[in-house]
Chains A and B, each alone.
Chain A
Amino acid sequence: MEGRVARAGRALWLAGTGLIFVFLIAPVLVIVPLSFNAEPYFTFTEGMLRLDPEAWSLRWYEQVAFSGEWRGALVNSVVIGLGAALLATALGTLAAIGLTSPGMPARRVVTGLLISPMVIPIVIAAAGMFFFYSDLGLDRTHFGLILAHAALGSPFVVIAVTATLSGYDRNLTRAAESLGAGPLTVFRRIQLPLIAPGVLSGALFAFAVSFDEVVVVLFMGGLDQRTIPRQMWAGIREEISPAILAVATFLIALAVALLIVVERLRKRAR
């Protein structure tokens, strides 16, 4: 009797948690087949369910690939994302080394300050940046957005590099120094290769943050700075067309690629 109750409870538990996993992953996965819809609908047509090849098509992918707007947006996103990731990674890696060094004063306050771009509501940051960068004449420029996105991405670099540095053996630095290496040589030949996985995943995080950022672009960017998220935002608000689902599928593929690389790097760091 009790065995049956326990078994029923266990089945219920499995079904329940299974549903939560479905809730997590299904919305992302559903987008993919819908982007091949031959009709401009956002649901599975009967033809699609019958696997009728006529009901499936690449028309939305063609539409996006041949659209000047989307291609311009891709270029903007890549340029701004690379610039922001480069800047955030350079500054963030140095800062992580400084933060984890033994003599660091006011570590908690400085960490709190450096992490703040992750936590402060994006609308507040975007509003502030709109006024500030306009006064400097940097609104509606790629450079202004690179600076803004670098600030938003830098906490991710600091966190990723700090995590790998916590496993770094300081005796290696001492050994290299005792053999006559200068601080720059120690950094370049000893420390950097060892923390490289953390630096690289930090850079990927920073790139992903910029590549997905829309609010600052909405406030600060002009027509020439339309990025992919900005373009999607307009698409969702104005006329939501399945072309968006094609772009979304591309972004999901990109996310999975980034995720795989970062997980590989994480394993290497251990």
Chain B
Amino acid sequence: MRRRLRKPALALPLVAFVLVSFIAPILLMLARGVHQPVVRDALPETLAILDAWDGLGVPEEAAFAAAAEELRAADEARLAARIGGRVNRVRSGLRTVIVAGARTGADGAGAGSARERLLAADPAWGDPATWRALRTAGERFTLRNYLNALDLDRGADGAVVRQPEERRVYVPLLLRTLGVSAAVTVLCLLLGYPVAHVIARAPARRARWLLLAVLVPFWTSLLVRTTAWIVLLQQRGVINDLLVWLGLVDDAARLTLVYNMTGTLIAMTHVLLPFMVLPIYSVMQGIPPRFMRAAESLGATPAQAFRRVYWPLTLPGVGAGALLVFILAIGYYITPALVGGSGGQLFSNMIAFHMETSLNWGLAAALGGILLAVVGALYVLYERTVGGENLRLG
């Protein structure tokens, strides 16, 4: 009895390890999208006063005094630029205002009231919009990053409105990513189905060799395959050379095949093709050829036999492969980053941009949350229809 109870427990160490080393980091990162304590922790008194403020006129003297004092302390703790950055994300142009305010505070005891000193540092301190932005940036829990990631904004009255058209970036990018993923999935299906069929129908010995053509790229480093496409597709690369030599393309008008969306599409299709071929192949292997012969002996044309008998039987493999390719394509990062140029970047690349370059980690987290929701929904669909444990490794 004891023994039987213990066996399932063997899964626990890995469950615990994955939860701690993988799931927890992701959840904590997602929390950054809604939890932003930096400004609130640095300017508690100022924000307490602003919380009670009606947001219309210029706030009372106490707000200026608290802001001057707390910004000075923040400057000493080397936090002023960071706070400025946070406020700047709410209303651009305020970074210098905040930093200037922090510096005057530090110069200190000099002339006039806190209000006069701040106004002397930057007249924007007399603008209620500055204080409203400071109050918004000071929200400990905020949906701002998610609104931003969905190209939404809060109007002056707090209602959610869409960003002006020229500032909508992330929703179009998400749609483009879904579109590219769908295109890659369709291309993989069109190319992968015949390949799987040929291998499944070949005699065992030849099938093993043909399968190598799928498995070698599958096992080859992703970076190697991406490098291969850069080398092949360059303007002075093998494919352009071949086209010029064949006289199909003029030497002066070599095709731009890489560092754009074309490059992303070609390389991603190549990289993901094995994930389509392998599940379809494994289903096709289980379809006895006599089914087709039976259909044809009953008077079906080859086309009819394919459409009414063979294709429906392969659908489980097609579904599994297509869903897997689509899921993997949506999150793709490396290939677009290397061959996509500026026009071939996808959603993951935007997350990396905000992680590494703009350092807007709250927004990166919100974008990550949205991507994760899309992938998660598709994964649940995959799990329900294919079953996670049926994932094959070639």
The residues of B that contact A120 with a CB separation of less than 8 Å are: 26, 331, 372, 375
Taking CB atoms, residues of chain B closer than 8 Å to A193 are: none
Count CB-based A-B contacts (< 8 Å).
Answer: 275
Nearest to B354 among chain A residues (CB) is: A127
Cβ-based interface call for B358 (8 A): no
Report whether A114 and B15 are in contact in the complex, using a CB–CB cutoff of 8 Å: yes
Pairwise interchain contact B25-A133, C-beta atoms closer than 8 A: yes
Known: A21-B210, A27-B229, A34-B231. Is A123-B348 also a contact (CB below 8 A)?
yes
Contact across chains for B371 and A229 when beta carbons are under 8 A apart: no
In Å, the complex CA distance between A112 and B14 comes to 13
Which residues of B have CB within 8 Å of A87?
17
CB distance from B245 to the nearest CB of A (A): 10
Q: In the complex, which of the residues B12, B228, B364, B368 contacts A28, with contact meaning CB atoms closer than 8 Å?
A: B228
- 17 A-B contacts (beta carbon < 8 Å): A17-B194, A21-B210, A23-B270, A42-B238, A87-B17, A95-B13, A112-B383, A113-B18, A115-B388, A121-B375, A124-B348, A132-B24, A132-B28, A151-B18, A215-B333, A245-B231, A259-B219
Assess the B26–A21 pair: CB atoms within 8 A. no
Chain B interface residue count, Cβ-Cβ cutoff 8 angstroms: 89
Q: Output the nearest chain A residue to B383 by Cβ-Cβ distance.
A: A112
Stretch among B1-9, B89-97, B98-106, B122-130 lining the A interface:
B1-9
Which 5 residue pairs spanning A and B have beta carbons closest together?
A121-B331, A98-B11, A132-B25, A98-B10, A128-B25
Are B194 and A20 in touch, CB under 8 angstroms?
Answer: yes
Size of the chain A interface, CB-CB below 8 angstroms: 90
- Of B10, B223, B234, the most chain A CB neighbours within 10 A belong to B223
Q: Shortest beta-carbon distance, A140 to chain B, in Å?
A: 15
Q: How far is the CA of A121 from the CA of B349 in the complex (A)?
A: 11
From known contacts A103-B5, A111-B388, A133-B25, infer whether A251 and B221 are also in contact, taking CB-CB under 8 Å.
yes
Query: At the interface, yes or no: B74 with Cβ under 8 Å from chain A?
Result: no
Within 8 A of B (CB), among A174-210: 177, 183, 205, 208
| Distance in Å: Cβ of A198 to nearest Cβ of chain B | 11
Chain B contact residues, CB within 8 Å of chain A = 3-15, 17-19, 21-30, 32, 191, 194-195, 198, 210, 212-217, 219-232, 234, 236-238, 241, 270, 273-274, 327-328, 330-334, 338, 348-349, 351-352, 355-356, 361, 364-365, 368, 371-372, 375, 379, 383, 387-389, 391-393
CB distance from A253 to the nearest CB of B (A): 10
Interface of A (DSSP majority class): helix
B220 engages A251 (CB within 8 Å):
yes
- Residue among B9, B216, B241, B270 facing the most chain A CB atoms (10 A cut-off): B216
A151 and B15 alpha carbons, distance in the complex (Å)? 10
Which A residues are in CB contact (< 8 Å) with B387? 108
Q: Chain B CB within 10 Å — which of A97, A117, A123 has the most? A: A123
Per the 8 Å Cβ criterion, residues 96-140 of A in contact with B are 97-99, 101-105, 108, 110-125, 127-133
